[in-house]
Amino acid sequence: MLPTPTRFTLCVGAGEGASRLNAFDNALLAAKIGNFNLLKVSSILPPGATHVEAVSVPPGSLVPTAYGSISSDKAGERISAAVGIGFSEDTFGVIMEYSGKCSGHEAEEIVETMVREAFHTRQMRLVKVMVRGVEHTVVQAGCAFAAVALW
């Protein structure tokens, strides 16, 4: 079992490339997490985790990450991704992620609504929400990526 993360950061980035995979890689680099091995996780922020501005682990490290991404090779298409974290007063938080063919603002609104619903469903009191999103208009092959990295 991996240790419970004690730190987190919200990471967003968009990228272009010759292929959808290159665009995804470039979006990860733009989000400043392109040199880590991301382990996709579900949506719980550990109790007491501290927000920091950047991931600070060696290149190649395994980094648990809740993320949403969208890639497209349709020139002119607008794509967006967003993540949101809901915080309780004294227990764990909930992370939600979204990606779609919409504006960055719309993606952020959708993800915040999802956070609020997750707290309502769990019958938990929501005391704070953090949201970050990114929008991209495809040129050749593009990707929008939003994540919460945990370590």
Which pairs from 90-93 meet CB under 8 Å and 24+ separation?
90/47, 91/47, 91/124, 92/44, 92/45, 92/46, 92/47, 93/44, 93/45, 93/49
Q: Which of 19, 35, 37, 56 is catalytic?
A: 37
**Average pLDDT score, the chain:** 97
- Quote the percentage of the chain above a pLDDT of 90: 97
Q: Is-catalytic flag, 97?
A: yes
Which residue in the list 43, 71, 80, 99 is annotated as catalytic?
43
- Residue 37 appears among annotated catalytic residues: yes
pLDDT tens per residue, range 14-42: 999 999 999 999 999 999 999 999 999 99
Q: What is the pLDDT of residues 59-93, one digit of tens each?
A: 999 999 999 999 999 999 999 999 999 999 999 99
Say what the pTM is.
Answer: 0.96
The third-level CATH classification (topology) of the domain covering 7-150 is Pyruvoyl-Dependent Histidine Decarboxylase; Chain B (3.50.20)
Q: Give the pairing type, strands 62-72 and 141-150.
A: antiparallel
Q: Are 138 and 20 in contact (CB under 8 A)?
A: no
Q: Which of 26, 69, 71, 97 is catalytic?
A: 97
